Structures are given as C-alpha cells and as structure tokens.
Amino acid sequence: MQKFGIPRFAGAVSLCLALGVPGVASATEGYFALAYGPAQRGVAGAGVAYSVDPMSAAINPANIADIGHAMTFGLEAFSPRRGFDANESPPLPNGGADSGHDWFAIPNFGYNRPLEGGGALNVMVYGNGGMNTSYPDVANPNCGVATGIFCDGKAGVDLMQMFVSVGYGRKDGNLSWGVAPTFAVQRFAARGISSLSGSSVDPTNFSGRGYDISTGFGLRAGLKYEISPQVTVGLAGQTRFKMSKFDKYAGLFEDAGSFDIPASISAGVTFKPRSDVALMLDYQRIFYSNIAAVGNSNTNGLFGAKGGAGFGWDDVDVVRIGAEWQQTPDMTWRAGYAYATNPIGKEDVMLGVLAPGVVEHHFSFGGAKKLNERDTFDFAINYVAPHKVKGPGMFNGDVELDMHQFSASVGWTRRF
C-alpha cells in the first residue's frame, strides 16, 4: 500500500467522508435532508409556515400547535447515483469509477397530541442515511501491486443519523410557537483510505476501524404568525448539536474526532389564494462553516489536530417553493422545487470522491388520498437533476464528480 501525505488531497478525501454523514437521507442540501416525511417531500421540504401532519414539526416546531391529534408512519426508498471521472490524476484510476449500494430505506414516525390548557405534545423519530459510497477493489496501475481507488482495497464511507424529538407547541391568538429538544445518534465508518493517513496526527484511527457511534443533543424552536386567513409567516431554527467524538476516527476528524451537527435557520411564508390552494416560499441557511471539522480549510495542518484540517465547506443557502391543491375532499396534489447552493468549490473537488454530494436542483411531486374519515395515504416522488463539479487532481490532471438522485416515499396518517 502506497502512502500519500499531501495535506490538501487528504483534506479533500476527508470532506467526502463527512458528506457521507449527516442529513443526507433524501435529496440533499449539503448533508441535510430535503425533508423527513412524504407530505413534506411532496412540496420539496417547504412548510415553515404550513402544517400537514406530525412530521411538519421537523420543519418548524411551531407547527405542533396546529396539527391536532394524529399519528404518522412513513418510508422512503432513496437512490443516490454517484461517481467520478479521473483524467491522469493519480492515485485515482484513469477513467474513474461508480459507487455501488444504490438503494436505501429511510423510515419516519411522528405523533401529535393536544393537551389540556391549549398546548400540544409532539414526538418524532426520523433518520438520515444512504449518502454513502462503496467503490469496488478495482485494478489501479497507479498503485503498483496494490488495488483500489486509493490503493487500499475497497473504499467508501457510511454515515447515518437518527433523531428523537419531543416537542411542545402552543397557539395564543394568531401566534403559534414551539420548542423541541432533540437527541441525535450518528454512526460512521470509513475504509480504503489508509494510504492518506500520513497527513494525520493519529494514523491508526484514520480508516478501517469499523463503525463508531456519536451521540448528542440540540434544540429546535420556531414561531408562526397568521397575518390574515390568506397569509401566514414562520421562522424556525436549530442550535448546534454538541456530539460526542468519533474516537475510532480521531485521526480523521478535527480535534480528535469532533463532528458536531451545524445550526440552521429558516423563514417562510404561506399564501392561500383560495381555501383549496396553498402556496409556500421558504428560505434556509445551514451554517456548515461554523463546525471546524467541516468548515476549516483542508490546508489547516494535520487531520485530527485541534484547529486542524477540515473540509473547506461554505454555508449552504436553500430556496424552496411548494404548492398544495385539494382537488376534492378526498384527493390532494403537491409539487415543489428546491435550489441549494453547493458547498464544494472546484478547488475542493477531491474532497467529494468518496461522497460526491454536489447536487443543486430538486424537483418534487406527490399527493394524499383520504381513505376514510381517519386515515390518509401520502406519497411523493423526488428527482434531483444531475450535477457535475470539475477541478484539479492531486498531482496533475483533473477529477470530475457527478451525482443525481431519485427517491419515492409513502406514508400513512391516522387522525384521532
């Protein structure tokens, strides 16, 4: 196995690793998911100022106050198609490769119950995952007798997240508000990149250590105000989630394995020109650059050191538009579009080889069929258009990342 001790390249690789981490269970914005339930995915994740079912609280906890007594289950089949093309850019094999493991199942659950005195309780369990890579142990002339895209056999990353949220919401006049303390669990593994461990303060905890677990807490909160029966505005945000360290990857992530979940803030407006139509416009900013392991430059010294190399990510801005039309009392249709800025510039293209999350344009379609007075079936289909980013290789040549995504989700909601 050959060793490559180029800080910039190793930095790039570790970012791709991070990309395989959090919030990328469905169509992705950096590594935050587009949405966490089929009703929300149908409008491209919009809904800061609009509530549908218990999973609406994942967008804005203020929605808890308007949901009523309901329970929902959902399941998403998520398929990220990703890979790279390398042109005379060792150690990557010329011509590139595509990742395997194309399908992932992501469940969600939510329960909302009004309380005496005007408040309401909400419980949600939802996850992120599927933004991983698994490259085969390909022949690679750049590796001598070794094989694999990084001369270390099969290569890839796998990171999943689970969130458990218990929230409280209340409506006082035209103002709704909500808070939701949230417990998070992250699971991460990396393999096939030991050839880069020469740029780490802890080479033995850089690659191939199996799965590691990280846990922590954060707080989400929001407001929603009904200006008129036609217009509602909303504001929501989440704090930084302070997570325990990935000890098995103390040589990969900054400060001996630190990998917190970044804060974010969202604002939105919903306009109802008619009683059967809702139009939504949301904006979100995700503060990736405030997390040292994500935002530090990949030239900030060695990996794993305090203040050391990170992934060089910029913050991400997301704009969403969504529409919901109730065609009949039993049938509702949804559609949406979201645009997310890409946190990875061409100068950091090598970071994305293991998780090329470079997509920007998200298209959504869905609906809801009322089965009876209590039960509703929701569905959504999401397509993320192909997007490519091309930049310089490690020593010479160039590398082009490419990705597109599909997902289909279904859900069942019962009202009590």
Cβ burial 130-155 (10 Å sphere, 16+ → b, else e): bbbbbbbebebebbeebbbbbbbbeb
| Band of pLDDT at residue 11, cut at 50, 70 and 90 | very low
Over range 389-412, report the average pLDDT: 91
Question: Which pLDDT score is estimated for 27?
Answer: 53
With a CB cutoff of 8 Å and minimum separation 6, the contacts of 382 are 26, 27, 34, 41, 44, 362, 363, 364, 405, 406, 407, 408, 409
Question: Which pLDDT score is estimated for 320?
Answer: 98
pTM score, two decimals?
0.89
- Asked if 41 and 405 touch (Cβ cutoff 8 Å), the reply is no
Q: Of 218-232, 305-319, 400-414, where does mean pLDDT reach its minimum?
A: 305-319
C-alpha distance from residue 112 to each of 21, 332, 414 (Å): 29, 21, 11
**DSSP bridge pairs for 189:** 158
- Asked if 11 and 311 touch (Cβ cutoff 8 Å), the reply is yes
Question: Which pLDDT score is estimated for 299?
Answer: 80
Question: Which pLDDT score is estimated for 24?
Answer: 40
- Asked if 67 and 91 touch (Cβ cutoff 8 Å), the reply is no
Residue located via tokens 């979201």: 338
Length of the chain: 416
SS3 54: helix
Residue located via tokens 């909303």: 234
pLDDT at 391 over 90: no
Question: Which pLDDT score is estimated for 131?
Answer: 64
Instruction: Record the tokens describing residue 296, joined without a space.
Output: 């530090």
DSSP 234-303: EEEEEPPBEE---GGGTTTSHHHH--PBPPEEEEEEEEEEETTEEEEEEEEEE-GGGSHHHHS-TTSSSB
